[in-house]
Amino acid sequence: MNLPFYIAKRYLFAKKSRNVINIISGISVIGIAVGTMALIIVLSVFNGFDELIKALYSTFDPEIKITLSEGKAFSPSTPEFERVKTLGGVQYFAEVLEENVLLRYADRQYIATLKGVDDKYEEVTGIDTMIVEGDFKLMDSNDRPYVVVGQGVAYYLGIGLNFLNPLNIYSIKRKGIVSIYPEQAINRKFIFPSGIFSIEQEHNVKYVIVPVSFARDLLGYNDEVSAVELKLHPDADHQIVQQQIRSILGDAFRVQNRNEQNELFYRIMRSEKWAIFFILTFILIVASFNIIGSLTMLILDKKEDINTLQSLGASNQLTRKIFLLEGWMISILGAIIGLIIGSLIAWLQAEYGLIKLNSSGSSLIDAYPVV
């Protein structure tokens, strides 16, 4: 057996009466273990929230979104968009028209974003899985339009799915005539709500979803859209398809994947994760200085052993190696303990949700997500 390793192991694990040196070494191991455990648990929770938020956004944001680089609305009835529609990697092609409107329900008013979508939108996104009340129904068998509203919008307006009170939607005419009567510059239509969705706060308080034909009629468009949203085949290479679409449409259009659609948000999430990583790593480094203190006191305590070893012919290099290995063993032992405990806690949280977010059960998830 390697002599320095054997002696270092004896110093760390030998069964003997415990003194202050052994206690300090144990504290050093515990410090490393706690720091490692905290690093694993906190980053696992951050990963969990990251995956949760991406999953929530994926129910509303498409895999690929096409908008104008400059301008507001465009016609998708062009040869270029026909080529995009027939690309091998494109599975579904949805037309979307968005505009800010004024909503009125009973005696309450609210400004929201009207999102007109066609019948492929449900396939492009997972919005139908986020319905908390009613159904995701935009058109019935008699071609009667319906609206699906965000939970925040429904809350502010007091919307109920009783089909007694319609939701009135007002929009400024695009080609209005100057008049002393303001109502002549406004388009108004009413529609009944069929469902309420809940994704996350930003979307819940912003959007109401209607058929694109209803939106065009209200806003005064013919076949124009503000965006085209695509769902790709599961086996398609997203980057290759995105580049193909860009080459077809040119610089006049922005072709964005999910990360690019919420670039600022995802950048902040990554920055927060790295900031937490560096903070916890710094704490772990500070905890590691306990090892230096414990080794220093161990050297003073083992001065007679060192003299005996040197009398038997041990070199200064061998002596240094003993205490260097002692430090490494304290670090590795603490890291292994922290890895095991941290991974176990993360697994228990992922499987059983031991630590709850709240007790009311009103949130989308009951417990802290962990990945």
Q: What is the per-residue pLDDT across 200-249, written as a single tens digit (0 to 9) for each?
A: 888 999 999 999 999 999 998 999 999 999 999 989 999 999 999 999 99
The rounded distance, in Å, linking the Cα atoms of 97 and 99 is: 7
Share of the chain above pLDDT 70, in %: 91
Q: Using alpha carbons, list the distances in angstroms from residue 71 to 67, 75, 183.
A: 9, 12, 27
199 and 59 in contact (C-beta within 8 Å)? yes
Summarize pLDDT for 301-339 with one digit per residue, the tens.
777 777 777 777 777 788 788 777 778 888 888 889 999
pLDDT at position 17 over 50: no
The residue extents of the domains of the chain are 3-56+265-346, 64-261
Instruction: Look at the block and give the residue holding tokens 């990251």.
Output: 50
Q: What is the pLDDT of residue 276?
A: 86
Q: What is the pLDDT of residue 11?
A: 67
- Other CB atoms within 10 A of residue 149 CB: 29
Q: What is the pLDDT of residue 299?
A: 75
The rounded distance, in Å, linking the Cα atoms of 122 and 136 is: 9
Output the pTM of the full model.
Answer: 0.72
Q: What is the pLDDT of residue 363?
A: 56
21 and 299 in contact (C-beta within 8 Å)? no
According to DSSP, residue 69 is labeled S
207: three-class secondary structure by DSSP? strand
Instruction: Look at the block and give the residue holding tokens 């058929």.
Output: 211
169 and 218 in contact (C-beta within 8 Å)? yes
Q: What is the pLDDT of residue 205?
A: 94
Token readout for 354 is: 């031991």
**113 - beta bridge partners?**
100, 207
What is the per-residue DSSP string for 279-343? HHHHHHHHHHHHHHHHHHHHHHHTHHHHHHHHHTT--HHHHHHHHHHHHHHHHHHHHHHHHHHHH
